Structures are given as C-alpha cells and as structure tokens.
Amino acid sequence: MKALPNSSQKDVGGGVTRRRTLKALASGLVAWPVLSGPAAEAFAAVQHTGGEPTLRFLTRGQYDAVDVLAEAIIPADGRSAGGRAARVADYVDLLLSESSPDIKTAWTEGLRALEAESTRQFDSRVARLSAPRLGTLLTTISQREAAPQTPVEEFFVVVKSATIRGYYSTEIGIHKELDYQGNQILTEFVGCTHPEHGYVPLVK
C-alpha cells in the first residue's frame, strides 16, 4: 500500500491540502525531539542502507503499525517519497528507546488502543488493513483531532505529530519536500537597502 485514496490531496482528518499543511507545521515546530548522537547515526544508517530495522523498543507488530500509519499520514506522491521510505517508524523506535518510562507507556497503550479499534471495526490488525479500511479507521479516530476525547483519538494526535517531526528530520523531508538547499555563504550581508538609511552598495 503506497497511499490512501486521494491522500495526496487531502489530509486524513483535516480536509485541506496535505503537503501544504505539513510543511507549515514542520516550519513552525521549534522544540523537536532530538535523537542522541548514536541514535541519530543509526537513523541515518538505516535511511541510507534501506535494510531491515534493528528494533530497540517497539515490537515488530508495533513497528509495522507505526510504519503503516506514517505512510498513510504522509504518503508518497509525485514530488517526494512518503513516511515509509523516510523510515519514520525507525525514528519513532529510536526516539522511544531514549524516552522516559511515561512516554514509553503512553505509546504502548496508544498502540494497544489503536489495535483494539481496528479489531472492533474490521477484525484485523492495523498493518493488515486494506487502504480503504485504513482510511476509514483514520477518518474515524481523527474526527475530533482538535479536541480528542478517547485514548485512541489522543494517540492519533501523538502519532501524527511524531510522523511529521520524524519525516521532516530526514533527507527526504528536508531536501526533497522542503527544498532546503543548505546554508549559503554570503559575500555581502545587505540588510536594509534603502539609500535614505545609509546603504551604499559594494563597488565591483
């Protein structure tokens, strides 16, 4: 499964253009979770090699569920790859391995609530849902995203935020989606260019 139906045009719960919304959110996120040096190196390595994950906290079933959710929230499109190619699930696993017990418990319980809702609706684990069914599940649990009222609704907000943060910390998210070109060397810091304010251009 590469994407939800029409997911390149609509956010799973918001009804607005997905990429524009995610880009705005990413640009405004200041206090991003930060991986330690070794964890950041491990994350970079798995993105580069594309190999099997070496899980540090999540079980394989939990990893698969996060992987499916990440691809549904940020699916691949004609511009750039999605959450799966960016290895967002690996980012989450590494981040959780370094998180506090309370955060680990919250994710474990949130994933359990998500699986329970998937089983209730479709008698299936999240990772095995068809694209239409996954879309239905995510639509259901994201309807009250602004004011979640149940554990599974609260977890959706958490996993969506983690997906955005993880995606836009990768080469795919930064360079291919945000068009970041890297720091540029300035030969002249211009600042204000109004002559009445004393600006004098350099003579070539």
Q: What is the mean pLDDT of the chain?
A: 77
Pick 150 or 4 by higher pLDDT. 150
pLDDT confidence tier of residue 112, bands split at 50, 70 and 90: very high
What digits encode the pLDDT tens for the residues 6-16? 333 345 544 33
The region, left, alpha or beta by phi > 0 then psi within -120 to 50, assigned to residue 15 is: left
Most confident of 45-54, 97-106, 166-175: 97-106
Most confident of 56-60, 76-80, 159-163: 56-60
In a domain, 4, yes or no: no
In a domain, 202, yes or no: no
pTM listed for this prediction: 0.73
In a domain, 204, yes or no: no
In a domain, 67, yes or no: yes
Per-residue H/E/C for 118-181: HHHHHCCCHHHCCHHHHHHHHHHHHCCCCCCCCHHHHHHHHHHHHHHHHHCCCHHHHHHHCCCC
Pick 4 or 37 by higher pLDDT. 37
Residue 186 has a pLDDT of 40
The yes-or-no verdict on residue 69 having pLDDT over 70 is: yes
Q: How far apart are CA 151 and CA 50, in angstroms?
A: 33
In the chain, how many domains are there? Answer: 1
In a domain, 203, yes or no: no
Residue 132 has a pLDDT of 94
Q: Give the domain extent around 76.
A: 18-197
Instruction: Kindly report the backbone phi and psi dihedral angles of residue 130, in degrees, each rounded to the nearest multiple of 5, phi listed first.
Output: -70, 165
- Quick one: how many helices (H) and strands (E) in the chain? 8, 0
Mean predicted confidence (pLDDT) in 83-102: 94
pLDDT confidence tier of residue 158, bands split at 50, 70 and 90: very high
pLDDT confidence tier of residue 171, bands split at 50, 70 and 90: confident
In a domain, 115, yes or no: yes
Q: Longest C-alpha distance within the chain, in Å?
A: 74
In a domain, 102, yes or no: yes
In a domain, 156, yes or no: yes
